[in-house]
Structure 1
Amino acid sequence: MINKLLKTFWFLVLTSWLSVQAQSAGDYQLGSGDTIKITVFGQADLSIETLLDDSGKIEYPFLGQIQATGKTLTQLQQDILAGLKGDYLVNPNVSVTIIEYRPFFIDGEVKQPGGYPFQPGLTVSKAAALAGGFTERASLSKIFIVRSNDPEQASVNVTANALVQPGDIITVRQSYF
């Protein structure tokens, strides 16, 4: 009975983790600071792991430079597939995965401000916990995020339950009471 409960529990944990992964990876746009792995099954010389730099381009065997930043994993996968199909391979099987997301940054009224590795499902509260927690002067109603994908870089007031994205800058302001 306990074994069955444990199996059910771990199944639920795994499926919820996979849904968060799929949700975050499906529409996630790559940016500088992300580390990705490109795998072409059966072709070890075409499988690479690379850090996206500020140029946003990667150097890929046979295809040269490919623009990666601003694209989803699926879009980059399709670009590589289209480039390899025909001239180099008959029916390539390409996979693009994120090895490590670019960091997020948190400053203001947290104990250890700085940059921290992003994790899917990260909220402002969890981000603050990574930074040592809120200080005693922190105002939970004055938390602002500048989204890395916002071209205007607008500072938006959010709650402690707001989801954090890679590259975001979180500022926790001081409470006056």
Structure 2
Amino acid sequence: MIKKLYTFLLTMLLVVSALSAVSAHAADVPLGAGDALKIAVFGNPDLSLETKVSEAGSITFPLIGEVKVAGLSAADAEKKISGLLISGGFLRTAQVNIMVTELQSQQVSILGQVLRPGRYPINGTRTVTDMLAVAGGLGPDGGDTATIVRTRNGTTRKQTINLVDMIHSSDMTANLDLINGDMVYVDRAPKFYIYGEVQHPGGYKLERNMNVTQALSIGGGLTPRGTERGLRVKRRDAEGKMETFSVNNDDELRPDDVVYVKESLF
């Protein structure tokens, strides 16, 4: 229950953060292959057109033929088509309007422990929390951290951010801006394992600052034969060697700890 409530609250915080962000208009985004456009010329309904930008970065428009629009904003593409219609002698004045109905050329990858991983269109610059909300927020196994891979000026850099700390502190410095080609990977939450005389042995999500008593509770509590005396934990040291030692109920667990509950002798 604690795990589900924690994940739900974090997801809701991400959604609220995303909804409060200022979205860029698609009209400011450079057009590219795969983008779907709805084009209208005021007073000339016969020139209305719904089309997609080709792999070559162009569209075919009535009267003027092939028009290269890749790399242009929608506003600049409007001016270009308008100019071609006028310079070609087809219209004396041409008021062209372009609506981007589907933006496929600008996408960000949202992967890992989110509800709907995949590639998502991005209208201009959006933040990490914006795009996590678009992907449905964190999944049930989502951890506190996300790894961001961004390429700027030909250089690719990786940065890990703590989503929980960022939102709880209201310091959004780490809420990085994302553009086309960036990737967000939400890490899997660390786990602990419990076995022996507990009702539900197995692996569980390790919540922040979880102690042994809380771990016992998540494992369903002791069996009738179990005892809290002599609780032991197996843990790997810095060199990867497994160590076994006794713990108290209020001792804090670490990722990949294995808690063993003994059988009572009486």
| Structure-1-length-normalised TM-score | 0.68
Rounded to whole Å, the distance in 1 between the matches of 2:123 and 2:73 is 17
**Equivalent residue for 1:59?**
60
**Equivalent residue for 2:37?**
36
> What do residues 108-160 of structure 1 show as CA deviations (whole Å, max 9, x unaligned)?
343431123445674321322332323433523x322357xx7x473454866
Shift in Å, 1:173: 5.4
**Equivalent residue for 2:178?**
164
Rounded to whole Å, the distance in 2 between the matches of 1:20 and 1:144 is 21
User: Aligned pair 1:174/2:178, yes or no?
Assistant: no
Rounded to whole Å, the distance in 2 between the matches of 1:21 and 1:131 is 18
> What do residues 74-109 of structure 1 show as CA deviations (whole Å, max 9, x unaligned)?
221121111111510111111222222224321234
> Which is bigger in relative contact order (C-alpha 8 A, separation at least 6)?
1
SS at match of 1:137: strand
What is the root-mean-square deviation of aligned Cα atoms in Å? 3.2
| Structure-2-length-normalised TM-score | 0.48
**Equivalent residue for 1:8?**
none
Shift in Å, 1:56: 0.9
Q: 5+ residue gaps in structure 1?
A: 1-15
Rounded to whole Å, the distance in 2 between the matches of 1:66 and 1:138 is 47
1:90–1:117: structure 2 CA closer, same or farther, 3 Å change rule?
same
Q: 5+ residue gaps in structure 2?
A: 1-19, 162-173, 191-254, 256-266
- Asked whether the equivalents of residues 138 and 172 of structure 1 are also in contact (C-alpha less than 8 Å), the reply is no
Rounded to whole Å, the distance in 2 between the matches of 1:58 and 1:130 is 29
SS at match of 2:34: coil
**Equivalent residue for 2:250?**
none
1:136 to 132, 142, 158: 142
**Partner amino acid for 1:77?**
E
- Asked whether the equivalents of residues 128 and 184 of structure 2 are also in contact (C-alpha less than 8 Å), the reply is no
Q: Which structure 1 residue ranges, 4+ long, deviate > 6 Å from structure 2? A: none
SS at match of 2:43: coil
**Partner amino acid for 1:124?**
V
Rounded to whole Å, the distance in 2 between the matches of 1:29 and 1:120 is 9
1:113-152 alignment, distance < 5 Å:
113-118=117-122, 122-134=126-138, 135-137=141-143, 139-140=145-146, 142-146=147-151, 152=154
Rounded to whole Å, the distance in 1 between the matches of 2:126 and 2:134 is 10
Query: Aligned residue pairs: how many?
Result: 154
Structure showing greater Rg: 2
Rounded to whole Å, the distance in 1 between the matches of 2:160 and 2:151 is 10
